[in-house]
Amino acid sequence: MDSSAPIEVRRVRVSDASVLRQVRLRALELDPAAFAASLDENRARPESHWKNRASESGSSDTKAEFLALDSDGTAVGLVGALRIANHRDVAELVAMWIEPAFRGRGVAVGMIEAVLDWCTSVGVLEVELWVAPGNDGATRLYERCGFTQQPPRKGAEQYDRFDTYLSLDLGEAAGNVASSATNSPPPET
Ligand SMILES: CC(C)(COP(=O)(O)OP(=O)(O)OC[C@H]1O[C@@H](n2cnc3c(N)ncnc32)[C@H](O)[C@@H]1OP(=O)(O)O)[C@@H](O)C(=O)NCCC(=O)NCCS
C-alpha cells in the first residue's frame, strides 16, 4: 500500500463481494467503537451474504456502497448510503471507514461526495447519520461537508450508545462539499 498515491473512489460492483467483506471486517476489527455492527456476527456471515450485499450495493436505487482504492487496487475505505423505507427522500450514511495509513488527507471527503452524488441521482433530499460518543474527528469531518448537528428526525433509526445525529439538506447544501474540499489543506503523506 502506497499511502501517498492517488485514491480512486468508486461504487461497489457485483464482483466486489470478497473485497467488501475484507474491508468491512477490517473496519469492525480496528474501530469497533465507531460502528453499531458486530465483528463476530459479520465474520460469521456466509459468502452469500457478501454476494447479495455487493449486488444490492452496486446496482439498486435503495442502497449504495463506495470503496476507496489505492493505486494497487487495494480497498482502503468504505462508506454506504441506505434509503429509509417509507421515507425514500431520506438516506442514512453508514459504515464510513478509512484505513489508518490513509487518514488525514481528505479521502473521506471524496467518499462523502460520492454518497451525496448518488443520493442526488436517486432523488434523496436529506442525508442523516449517527456518530458515536467521543468521535469528534468524524463529527468535524461531516460538519466540514455541510452536515449539522440537530435533534434526530422523528422515526430515525436509533442505535445504542450513538448520541450525535447530523443531517444535511441536499437542496440547501449544493456546493458545500465542493467548496470545503477546495479549501482543504494539501494531502498529507
Ligand atoms: C473519521 C474518518 C472516516 C475520517 O477519514 P479521513 O479521510 O482521515 O478524514 P480527513 O482527512 O478529513 O481527516 C479527519 C481528521 O483526522 C486528522 N488526521 C490527520 N492525520 C491523521 C492520521 N494520520 N490519522 C488519523 N487522523 C488524522 C485530520 O487532521 C482531521 O482532523 P480535524 O478534524 O481536526 O481536521 C477516519 O478517521 C476513520 O475511518 N475513523 C474510524 C472510523 C470512524 O470513526 N468512522 C466514522 C463513523 S461515523
Identify the pLDDT of residue 176: 54
CA of 101 to the centre of ligand 1 (A): 10
Q: How confident is the model at residue 1 (pLDDT cuts 50, 70, 90)?
A: low
Q: How confident is the model at residue 189 (pLDDT cuts 50, 70, 90)?
A: very low
Pairing of strands 8-11, 126-131: unpaired
121-158 pLDDT per residue, tens: 999 999 999 999 999 999 999 999 999 999 999 999 88
Region 149-178: mean pLDDT is 85
Q: What secondary structure letter does DSSP report for 96? A: E
User: Of all residues in the chain, what percent carry a pLDDT higher than 70?
Assistant: 89
Nearest protein Cα to ligand 1, atom 20: 104
65-112 pLDDT per residue, tens: 999 999 999 999 999 999 999 999 999 999 999 999 999 999 999 999
The reply to whether ligand 1 has any atom less than 6 angstroms from the CB of 30 is no
- C-alpha–C-alpha distance, residues 15 and 5, integer Å: 24
Residue among 123, 126, 124, 63 nearest 95 (CA): 63
Domains of the chain with bracketed CATH: 8-182 (3.40.630.30)
The reply to whether ligand 1 has any atom less than 6 angstroms from the CB of 97 is yes
Listing DSSP states for 161-189 in one string gives T--EEEEEEHHHHTTHHHHHHHTSPPPP-
Listing DSSP states for 60-94 in one string gives -SSEEEEEEE-TT--EEEEEEEEEETTEEEEEEEE
- C-alpha–C-alpha distance, residues 105 and 111, integer Å: 12
Residue 37 has pLDDT above 80, yes or no: yes
Cell numbers for 138, please give them. 468524524
The reply to whether ligand 1 has any atom less than 6 angstroms from the CB of 107 is yes
Q: How confident is the model at residue 118 (pLDDT cuts 50, 70, 90)?
A: very high
CA of 82 to the centre of ligand 1 (A): 22
Identify the pLDDT of residue 160: 85
Q: What secondary structure letter does DSSP report for 151? A: S
- pLDDT greater at residue 170 or residue 187: 170
Residues 6+ apart with CB under 8 A from 44: none
Residue among 102, 82, 107, 79 nearest 92 (CA): 82
CA of 85 to the centre of ligand 1 (A): 30
